[in-house]
């Protein structure tokens, strides 16, 4: 039987980066085993449905390259893949469970349950408490019939029989044993006719012939209920295998990573930006921060999984080859943003210049900068060793696109002397007349000139850099000169002494 796995997020808002990792592990597992990766949308809670969330999920998966083989927006023979579109299925299955004696009707109002919780400490709806409540287990059959026929609101609950052992075999954690006496009678079908996660999950996994359920650790406790459901339906022979992933924790402090941590720590915790009416609920993402999708994937892959060995950089293909559920760690992993940045830097360094140029083209355009690919490729070549994020190319290297806006005044004060004005002007002349406008020969000529003038390179070269870029940080000066071009380089050399002289007294004063 071929492997079929699903990623089943709820469209309740932006997809958390942890969700992307869950999708990734499912994807890797599917591809590793020649299986099928399915996207199922679990929108059974109408109250929490957020418009746009479904598109966000799909766009996120596409961005990082986790393309489902089946699912909402991707076709497939097991659809529909959106649970709200499958609503009609669940009632029938819930009813079947009632008929088999594994579930029952309950008529307790939310108020009645609230009262029970108030009056009884640690109240749970289970085999002990259900006898004192309004359900088909205690009400006479004709009374139940009457209420049902009268259209009274009801729900269907799982009837958990006490005294049973429920072993759960987890691919990551081994065998976990639960006692049914400690389980509550979970709601399976809600008053609005929609199933809860538990019912929908089991029914859909069964109908979609899911073989492996790879999901977050928060689902481990309810897996006992899920096993009971498989038993109740008589589907134990095709029950999927489970693997519960460790959670991603906050960078510092206690608890799992939350969406608020992004703003709190100044880092993205979502793949894409999310815009909400309320700025408080709007978030930045990895993409808009300037992460490459490959770097994002590589970082996420190693957050809670490692194949052994010393390799850190993996292509998607290598991840697929190396992946195995057994190597997923059991403990939660802190979100390490420094490491994420390192991955991005590495990927930028090793990416093809033309590819990077494509990436920064929209960034250059949005700033009104020159954005033709040949030019951007040159810029990329100069900057790729010194940036962390994509926007750094145009933000840090802005002076390659247009005039210098900020001068390092501290440096000017240290290096500038009005007497050098003629030197810079002479340099401008050399630049204009250089027979070969290439970095090595330019450097050669300039250095010869400096020596001939009886000056030291350390006196003039920093000024050259300041004139061209305004800052001491950046690519090799002569490389910059070539990208800037003959005319622009000469202009900056001739005009900068004016700025320098103007700045000097301000600083001195």
Partner RNA sequence: GGCCCGUUCGUCUAGGGGUUAGGACGCAGGAUUUUCAUUCCUGUAACACGGGUUCGAUUCCCGUACGGGCUACCA
Query: Could you give the residue numbers annotated as active site?
Result: 259
From 53-61, 275-283, 298-306, 501-509, give the range in contact with RNA by CB under 7 A. 298-306
Going residue by residue from 174 to 213, which x/- string records binding to RNA, judged by CB under 7 A? x-xxxx--x-x--x--xxx-xxxx----------------
Which DSSP symbol is given to 406?
A: -
From 31-39, 231-239, 297-305, 314-322, give the range in contact with RNA by CB under 7 A. 297-305
Using rule CB under 7 A, residue 342 touches RNA: yes
For RNA, the binding residues in 234-293 under the rule CB under 7 A are: 246-247, 249, 254-256
Which residue from 370, 425, 417 is spatially nearest to 397, judged by alpha carbons? 370
CB 361 within 8 A of CB 376: yes
Sheet holding 165-170, edge to edge: 70-71, 36-39, 4-7, 212-216, 241-245, 165-170, 174-179
Pick the binder of RNA from 457, 485, 501, 507 (CB under 7 A).
Answer: 457
Pick the binder of RNA from 4, 6, 7, 10 (CB under 7 A).
Answer: 10
C-beta of 113 vs 137, nearer to RNA: 113
Q: How far is CA 219 from CA 108, 197, 214, 366, in A?
A: 26, 11, 10, 44
Pick the binder of RNA from 2, 315, 329, 501 (CB under 7 A).
Answer: 329
For RNA, the binding residues in 76-135 under the rule CB under 7 A are: 108-110, 113, 122, 124-125
CB 382 within 8 A of CB 396: no
CB 130 within 8 A of CB 75: no
Which DSSP symbol is given to 256?
A: B
Burial class (CB in 10 A: 0-12, 13-18, 19+), 300: buried
Pick the binder of RNA from 153, 234, 362, 485 (CB under 7 A).
Answer: 153
For RNA, the binding residues in 378-397 under the rule CB under 7 A are: 385-386
Using rule CB under 7 A, residue 449 touches RNA: no
Pick the binder of RNA from 131, 237, 338, 454 (CB under 7 A).
Answer: 338
Angle at 275 between CA 269 and CA 280, to 5 degrees: 75
In the complex, minimum distance from the CB of residue 368 to RNA, in angstroms, rounded to a whole number: 25
Cβ atoms within 10 Å, residue 402: 12
In the complex, minimum distance from the CB of residue 434 to RNA, in angstroms, rounded to a whole number: 18
For RNA, the binding residues in 360-379 under the rule CB under 7 A are: none
For RNA, the binding residues in 387-446 under the rule CB under 7 A are: none
CB 490 within 8 A of CB 464: no
In the complex, minimum distance from the CB of residue 192 to RNA, in angstroms, rounded to a whole number: 6
In the complex, minimum distance from the CB of residue 337 to RNA, in angstroms, rounded to a whole number: 9
Pick the binder of RNA from 155, 239, 322, 466 (CB under 7 A).
Answer: 155
In the complex, minimum distance from the CB of residue 11 to RNA, in angstroms, rounded to a whole number: 9
C-beta of 371 vs 416, nearer to RNA: 416
CB 63 within 8 A of CB 272: yes
Rounded to 5 degrees, φ, ψ at 132 are -100, 15
CA dist., res. 228 & res. 160, Å (int): 8
For RNA, the binding residues in 468-507 under the rule CB under 7 A are: 472-477
CB 188 within 8 A of CB 199: yes
Pick the binder of RNA from 31, 42, 90, 232 (CB under 7 A).
Answer: 42
Q: How many residues bind RNA (CB under 7 A)?
A: 86
Pick the binder of RNA from 332, 391, 397, 470 (CB under 7 A).
Answer: 332
- Length of the chain (residues): 509
In the complex, minimum distance from the CB of residue 10 to RNA, in angstroms, rounded to a whole number: 3
In the complex, minimum distance from the CB of residue 299 to RNA, in angstroms, rounded to a whole number: 9
Pick the binder of RNA from 6, 287, 415, 465 (CB under 7 A).
Answer: 465
CB 337 within 8 A of CB 267: yes
Per DSSP, the three-state class of 157 is: strand
């Amino acid at each position: 039987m071929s492997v079929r796995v699903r990623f089943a997020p709820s469209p309740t808002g932006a997809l958390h980066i942890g969700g992307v990792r869950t999708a990734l592990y499912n994807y890797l597992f599917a591809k590793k085993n020649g299986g099928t990766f399915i996207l199922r949308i679990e929108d059974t809670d109408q109250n929490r449905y957020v418009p746009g969330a479904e598109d966000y999920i799909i766009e996120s998966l596409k961005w990082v390259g986790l393309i489902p083989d089946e699912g909402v927006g991707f076709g497939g023979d097991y659809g529909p893949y959106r649970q709200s579109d499958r609503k009609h299925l669940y009632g029938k299955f819930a009813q079947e469970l009632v008929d088999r004696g594994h579930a029952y009707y309950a008529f307790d109002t939310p108020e009645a349950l609230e009262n029970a919780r108030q009056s009884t400490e640690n109240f749970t709806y289970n085999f002990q408490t259900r006898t004192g409540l309004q359900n088909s287990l205690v009400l006479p059959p004709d009374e139940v019939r009457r209420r049902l026929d009268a259209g009274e609101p009801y729900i269907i609950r799982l009837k958990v029989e006490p005294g049973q052992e429920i072993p759960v075999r987890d691919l990551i954690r081994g065998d976990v044993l639960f006692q049914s006496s400690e389980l509550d009678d979970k709601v399976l079908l809600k008053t609005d006719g929609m199933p809860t996660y538990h019912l929908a999950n089991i029914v859909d996994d069964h109908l979609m012939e899911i073989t492996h359920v790879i999901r977050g650790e928060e689902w481990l406790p309810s897996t006992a209920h899920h096993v009971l459901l498989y038993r109740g339906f008589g589907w134990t022979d095709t029950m999927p295998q489970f693997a519960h992933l460790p959670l991603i924790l906050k960078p510092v402090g206690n608890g799992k990573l939350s969406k608020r941590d992004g703003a709190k720590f100044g880092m993205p915790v979502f793949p894409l930006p999310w815009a909400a009416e309320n700025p408080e609920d709007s978030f930045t993402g990895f993409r808009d921060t300037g992460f490459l999708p490959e770097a994002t994937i590589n970082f996420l892959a190693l957050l809670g999984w490692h194949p052994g060995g010393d390799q850190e950089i993996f292509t998607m293909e290598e991840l697929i080859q190396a992946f195995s559920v057994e190597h997923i760690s059991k403990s939660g992993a802190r979100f390490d943003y420094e490491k994420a940045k390192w991955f991005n830097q590495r990927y930028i360094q090793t990416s093809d210049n033309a590819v990077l140029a494509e990436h920064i083209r929209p960034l250059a355009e949005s700033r009104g900068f020159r954005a033709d690919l040949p030019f951007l490729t040159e810029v990329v070549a100069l900057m790729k060793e010194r940036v962390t994020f994509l926007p750094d190319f145009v933000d840090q290297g802005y002076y390659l696109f247009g005039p210098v806006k900020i001068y390092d005044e501290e440096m000017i004060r240290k290096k500038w002397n009005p007497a050098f004005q003629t030197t810079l002007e002479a340099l401008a002349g050399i630049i204009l007349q250089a027979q070969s406008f290439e970095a090595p020969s330019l450097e050669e000529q300039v250095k010869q000139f400096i020596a001939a003038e009886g000056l030291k390179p350390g006196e003039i070269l920093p000024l050259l850099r300041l004139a061209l870029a305004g800052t001491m940080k950046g690519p090799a000066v002569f490389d910059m000169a070539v990208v800037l071009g003959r005319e622009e380089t000469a202009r900056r050399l001739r005009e900068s002494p004016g700025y320098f002289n103007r700045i000097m007294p301000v600083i001195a004063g």
